[in-house]
Amino acid sequence: MITAPRKRSMRKRVLVVHVHPEPASLNGALKDAAVRALHALGHEVIVSDLYAMGFKAVADAQDFAQRVDPERLYYASESEHALDTGTQRADVAEEQRKLLWADAVILQFPLWWFGPPAMLKGWIDRVFVRGFAYGVRAPGESIATLRYGEGLLLGRRAMVSVTTGAPHAHFGARGISGALDDLLFPLQHGVLFYTGMSVLPPFAVHAANHLGPGDWPAIEAAYGQRLASLFTDAPIRYRMQNGGHYDERQVLRPGLGAGETGPRVHIVQHGDPPERAPRALPTTRRPAG
């Protein structure tokens, strides 16, 4: 049992997106532990248990009751039209409402084939639609530029909580699986940061298949510590698209990212010039069912 101190003054709203088909799984236990710990901290919690909800994870024509183009499916255009006209599927609109409600979003899942289970990818594909999660314009601008550190979900925190079969060493800088930060880059940078959220370093339980019940208290305690600092830990300092570090082609300016390769070039380094502050965006586009 996590014994986190109560901090009523810091009452926040947390969405836990849980992705595992077995309620008695280690992932299920982590989800339950998060709910207990967050409640003990005084926070409000909503869980989206995608398998238990039977969430439709396939993005297809069934998502649109009224098509702009009945002949050929352009998913991005149809999803934006559905958002604008209030004709989205109820399950999609409900998940968007939860995201807008939340101050923090936790994604709980096992690593399956070097990424999240397809269920989570499908949730992202169907819920993070154009006009809501991408293709978002700043007021008065004609082209969509609010992404990577700006966007409708600005001001929210996000954290991945992941379990892996492979041991910790496999995910180090020279480990055979590749660095965990690199494996999670598409999700953390390409989805969570892209939509404006501040992304915390992940919480990971490795070598999960070799664990037994005796390992649980230490895991729960470690996770409880991370949850206790969910709203105070420093986020990963991904560079903002519009912060001044990229040129007009969104290519990192010369001299920045020196000594780094791969996804790490997109993290601010000590001594880099300060970035422009993100533009606050009024939440003008509320999803409707």
Ligand X SMILES: Cc1cc2nc3c(=O)[nH]c(=O)nc-3n(C[C@H](O)[C@H](O)[C@H](O)COP(=O)(O)OP(=O)(O)OC[C@H]3O[C@@H](n4cnc5c(N)ncnc54)[C@H](O)[C@@H]3O)c2cc1C
Which residues contact ligand X by CB under 6 A? Answer: 20, 25-27, 29, 110-114, 163-166, 208-209, 211-213, 215-216
- The residue (of 20 and 157) whose beta carbon lies closer to ligand X is 20
Sequence-separated (6 or more) residues with CB below 8 Å from residue 118: 57, 112
- The residue (of 33 and 256) whose beta carbon lies closer to ligand X is 33
Smallest distance, ligand X to C-beta of residue 201, A: 18
The answer to whether 103 and 12 have CB atoms below 8 angstroms apart is yes
- The residue (of 27 and 198) whose beta carbon lies closer to ligand X is 27
* 3-class SS shares of the chain: helix, strand, coil, % to 5: 35, 15, 50
Smallest distance, ligand X to C-beta of residue 117, A: 8
The answer to whether 132 and 83 have CB atoms below 8 angstroms apart is yes
Annotate 160-190 with b (16+ C-beta within 10 A) or e (fewer): bbbbbebeeebbeeeeebbbbbebbbebbbe
Smallest distance, ligand X to C-beta of residue 55, A: 18
Smallest distance, ligand X to C-beta of residue 106, A: 15
- The residue (of 129 and 187) whose beta carbon lies closer to ligand X is 187
Smallest distance, ligand X to C-beta of residue 171, A: 8
**Token duo for residue 240:** 């903002």
Rounded distance between C-alpha atoms, residue 153 and residue 101, angstroms = 10
CA separation, residue 123 to residues 93, 94, 129, 285 (Å): 12, 12, 10, 20
- The residue (of 15 and 219) whose beta carbon lies closer to ligand X is 219
Nearest in space to 193 (alpha carbons), one of 272, 258, 266, 248 = 266
Smallest distance, ligand X to C-beta of residue 157, A: 23
Smallest distance, ligand X to C-beta of residue 62, A: 26
- The residue (of 62 and 113) whose beta carbon lies closer to ligand X is 113
Smallest distance, ligand X to C-beta of residue 39, A: 18
Phi then psi dihedrals of residue 36, to 5 deg: -60, -50
The helix or strand, by DSSP H or E, that contains position 182, with its residue range, turns out to be helix 180-183
- The residue (of 37 and 99) whose beta carbon lies closer to ligand X is 37
- The residue (of 217 and 262) whose beta carbon lies closer to ligand X is 217
Annotate 102-140 with b (16+ C-beta within 10 A) or e (fewer): bbbbbbbbbbeeeebbebbbbbbbbbbbbbbbbbbeeee
Using CB positions, name the residue nearest to ligand X. Answer: 165
Rounded distance between C-alpha atoms, residue 227 and residue 246, angstroms = 33
